[in-house]
Each structure stands twice: as structure tokens, then as C-alpha cells.
Amino acid sequence: MKRLAILVFLFLIAVGSSEGADKVRMSISAVDVSFLTAGVAQKRGMFRDEGLDVELIRMNANVSITALATGDIDYTMVFASVVRGALRGMPMKVVASFMDSSTHLLIARPEYKTIRDLKGKTLAVSTYGATSDVAARMMMKHGGVDPEKELKIIQLGAERGRYAALKEGIVDVAVLSPPTDTEAQRSGFRVLSRFHELFKMPFTGIGTNLKKIKEKPDEVKRMVRAMLKANRFVRANREGTIQTMMDWIKVDRESAAATYDSTWKIFSEDGSMSESGLKLVIDQGREAMKIERAVVNSEVADLTFVRDAQRELGIKPKS
């Protein structure tokens, strides 16, 4: 009886702890390595330890921005889209960056050996203006192909649909992310470009609306702190991260290990945004939206929360 009473007591504490957590909703674009920070924070208890009950919701970037502006979600990880939303005057800002570059790759059918071979061909992206679209255009341009004039670009939504279109010959090249590259290479497709080998800029992070920043600053800081802990876990614990990837992304060990080894260095050590990297994201948005006026970083970003979290966790920022 005494043991039963103790178990009941512990159960009630656990339930009470869960009920007392702040319930928040955060969007991600896909369950893949690009958003692994959130997956680790959820699976490894970093959110829970910060008193947060986080629901991760998969949404396209454009839907996420609308939902963030209206308050239907509290946070999103689609960094560049939040910057563009802020440039359009929507009430939102980015508050931390968790990847220092994109994980995106250009994967082509076997007959294409270089990016220049893709002139006049068809490229699959998720949606126009999404991070995958921006990354693909940057890689194409770097490789000598003008994406505006020398490509047919079609939007095919989720990663699975883009890869299926590539396999079926509907498109010649697709912008994809790990671990799809492992399977694609096994099947004979070619990786022609890896974004992180060419460019350094904030990729995924946390964006929230101005009302949340004003009314619940402590919650915002705890979100940042939880995800900083997740990033530190990723960088320090290879085996634990691989296991989390297998559980969260639902991939085999070989794919998870290959993905980890090719991407772990991209995960930010401190959540900071370099001035130059953030300016690159802003300038891309300005160019896409034909904004001619100068834009200062503070219009789209609030660094207060990441600096406070760094100080509390004893992290000395590198930038």
C-alpha cells in the first residue's frame, strides 16, 4: 500500500507538472534535419525542463507567416520567411538563429554532371519564396545558371513529392535536404551542390510576433534557452543525436549517421546572428520584393532574448 501511495503521488506530480507548463504552438516546414533543433528539444526534454509544452505543427512557410501574424501559432522556425514578413510590415521578428547555413542540396538525375548542364531544365522547389526556393536559386546562380531566365521552376510542396518527381523524370533537378540525399545517391542520382559549402547565413531559428515579445518576454527567452540547449546537445552528442534522428525523422541508422556527419557543424553554437549573415537574408528579401529603401537589422530582429539566454547558460557568443 505504501508503495502504491508513493506511485500515485509521483503520478500526480507528473500530471501537475505537465498541466502547469505553458502550452505553445510552433511551426516547422518539415520533419527533417533542418528543424532538428526543435525535434531534439522535444524528444530530449529541453522544452519540458523550461516549463514549456510545445506542439510542433508542420506548415508551409507562407501559411506559417499568416498564422504567426494572426496569433494562430506562437512561434515558427522558418527564419527567412519571418524576415520577409517583417519587411512587408507584418508584426513579427526573428529572435535567434540555430543553423548557420542551409542544409539544402541540389540533386539531379544521373545524366547531369554539373549545374551548367541544367540550363533550360526543370527544377522542383517546395513553394515560391520559401527557404528551399531561395537556396536553390542561390546555388544555381553560383553554378553559372540564371534561375530567372534559364530554368523552369515548379513548386511541388513537401520533400517526398519533390523526390518522387525527380525519380519519375517529371523534373530534372530538385532542391532537397538530408537524409534524402543518402537514398538518392544510393539510387544513382547526383548531388551537384551543397548550400552550406558555398554560403554562410542564418537558416532556421525562432520567429515570433510582436505581441508575444511585448506580453510574454520570459516565455520567448525560455523557448530560446531550450533550443540553445538542444543545439549544444547536437554538437556534443553524436550517438544521442543519431538516435533522436532515427526516432523523430524515422530513418535508418546509416542515413541518420550520414546526415549527422555532414551537417552537425552547421548547428549554431550560440544562437547568434552575424550582422553580415542577417544582412544577406534581408537583402534577398528586399530584392525579391523590390524594396529599394535601406533596412536596418533591428527592423526584423530582436537580439535581446538570445543574449539573455546566452548569459544565463554561460555561453560566450562568437559573433
Give per-residue pLDDT as tens, 88-142: 999 999 999 999 988 899 999 999 999 999 999 999 998 887 778 888 999 999 9
Phi-psi region of 235 (alpha: psi -120 to 50; beta: other; left: phi over 0): alpha
Tell me the per-residue pLDDT of 264-277, one tens digit each, with 9 for 90 and over. Answer: 999 999 999 888 88
DSSP string, 63-83: HHHHHHHHTSSSEEEEHHHHH
Looking at residues 157-167, what average pLDDT do you find? Answer: 92
- At residue 227, does pLDDT exceed 60? yes
The pLDDT value given to residue 123:
97
The pLDDT value given to residue 5:
44
Q: pTM (2 decimals)?
A: 0.80
The pLDDT value given to residue 18:
46
Query: What is Dmax (Cα atoms) for the chain?
Result: 77
Q: In sequence order, which residues have a C-beta less than 8 Å from that of residue 90 and are 6 or more positions away?
A: 65, 68, 69
User: Which range is least confidently modeled, 127-136, 258-267, 308-317?
Assistant: 127-136
Phi, psi (deg, nearest 5) at residue 279: -60, -35
Phi-psi region of 51 (alpha: psi -120 to 50; beta: other; left: phi over 0): left
pLDDT band at 40 (very low <50, low <70, confident <90, very high): very high
